[in-house]
Amino acid sequence: MFSSKSEQNSQRPQAVKTMANPGGTFSVFGPDVTIRGDVEASADLHVDGKVIGNIACASLVQGEGSRIEGEIKAETARLSGEIQGKIEVRNLVVLKTAQIDGDVSYDTLTIEQGASVEGRFEPLRAKSGQPAKPAAEGKTSDGQPGLSLAG
């Protein structure tokens, strides 16, 4: 009786270790969590629940059933749920299940067919008024932000 419980407990940390990024940390808001207020994270953030407030983090992954009502600022983001608010992300992937209602600023952008966006797209460079940078990964030869459509 006791041995089976301790075996279950000894298996649990191993499962958590395999999910974590090697050498990095991340935070998860589960589907049963609602956050009211701004969220700031220096680590990666995975949102499966609901956030009513602004999010600022290094990297954001949004689950299909989640909802974010507020501004998103991140280096990278992979969005697949509902977003109502402005988005400023350097490397943005919008999956087919995403429903965005707000303006989107980006350096590189990938949108899967079927995604819904009600708003304007604007390169981050244009927003900040900075001159075009030399060609880099995800950008065209004239320094313009890259845009790709996924099938």
Label residue 100 left, alpha or beta by phi (over 0 means left) and psi (-120 to 50 means alpha): beta
Where do runs of H (alpha helix) occur along the chain?
2-19, 124-128
Q: How many residues does the structure list for the chain?
A: 151
pLDDT of residue 68: 98
**Rounded mean pLDDT, 73-81:** 97
For 41-72, what is each residue's pLDDT tens digit?
988 999 999 999 999 999 999 999 999 999 99
Q: Which residues have CB under 8 Å from 98's CB, separation 6+?
A: 62, 79, 80, 81, 82, 83, 112, 115, 116, 117
C-alpha span between 24 and 54 (Å, rounded): 23
pLDDT in tens, 12-45: 333 333 333 445 688 999 999 999 999 999 889 9
DSSP state string for 6-31: HHHHHHHHHHHHHHSPTT--EEEE-T
3-state secondary structure (DSSP) of residue 74:
strand
Instruction: Give the position of tokens 């313009």.
Output: 144
Lowest mean pLDDT among 84-98, 99-113, 133-147: 133-147
Give the pLDDT of residue 71: 98
Residues 6+ apart with CB under 8 A from 142: 132, 135
Contact 61, 41 (CB under 8 A): no
Given a contact cutoff of 8 angstroms between Cβ atoms, the answer to whether 32 and 14 are in contact is no
